[in-house]
Amino acid sequence: MSLRRTATTIALTLSAALLLSGCTGEGADLASQFEEGSDKGYVSGDGSSLSISEAERTEPVEFSGVDESGAEFGSADTHGDVTVVNFWYAGCAPCRVEAPDLVAAYDEYADQGVQFVGVNTRDQVAQAQQFSREFGIEYPSIMDNAGGRSVQRAFAGEVPLNAVPTTLVLDREGRVAHRVLGQLASASQLTTLIDETLAESSDTAGEQ
């Protein structure tokens, strides 16, 4: 009995360790995580924001894919604009909670040189379209849940996207300027980051 009890304890300990490694993963290789499959569910971050100074930003991120309407969309379509990139899927509870905040920000900045694009990591087209109708989302979402997950891989080399949802703000050059890990705290959290990125773009233009 003692041997059986010991074996059970070890098994439970290993299971707990594996569960924690799958949920936290701050130092894990994101590309490897994506290769493992899409059955882990979302990882809810704490809404913390990371800002990257212009001097420390990496090269512009090039990405492209087919959105839920069947149209090609990618970084070539957002070049020269500040761009918000949101990683999501319909069954992710934090994604649903933050959707109205993304819509509010989109409505506010649609005519101010700011573009929005979703990256759906899990759903079929019908699910993505239903989600957009439910929350009144007008910007496109790239369906990135099949094949090589090219959009997720494109950003994995730049910023550790270890949670869904994750929201990025790209500067006018297409470089990652800000990241919100997990659910947005509010629409104002996102609009503040957009304003900061727009302001630095204006400052750069004024210096030229």
- Count: domains in the chain: 1
Q: What is the pTM of this model?
A: 0.78
Classify residue 72: in a domain, yes or no.
yes
Whether residue 202 lies inside any domain: the answer is: yes
pLDDT tens digit string along 163-202?
Answer: 789 999 999 999 999 999 899 999 999 999 999 999 996 6
Q: Is residue 119 part of a domain?
A: yes
Range of the domain at 44: 29-207
Residue 185 lies in a domain: yes
Amino acid identity of residue 99, one-letter, is A
Residue 75 lies in a domain: yes
pLDDT band at 157 (very low <50, low <70, confident <90, very high): confident
- Summarize pLDDT for 47-69 with one digit per residue, the tens: 788 999 999 999 999 999 999 99
Does 13 fall in a domain?
Answer: no
Proportion of the chain above pLDDT 70, given as a percent: 71
Task: Give me the pLDDT at residue 162, please.
Answer: 58
User: Shortest CA distance to 30 belongs to which of 181, 137, 131?
Assistant: 181
Sheet holding 82-88, edge to edge: 46-51, 176-182, 166-170, 82-88, 114-120, 141-143
Q: What is the CATH number of the domain that holds 183?
A: 3.40.30.10
pLDDT band for 161, please (50, 70, 90 cuts): low
Instruction: Give a yes or no: residue 191 inside a domain.
Output: yes
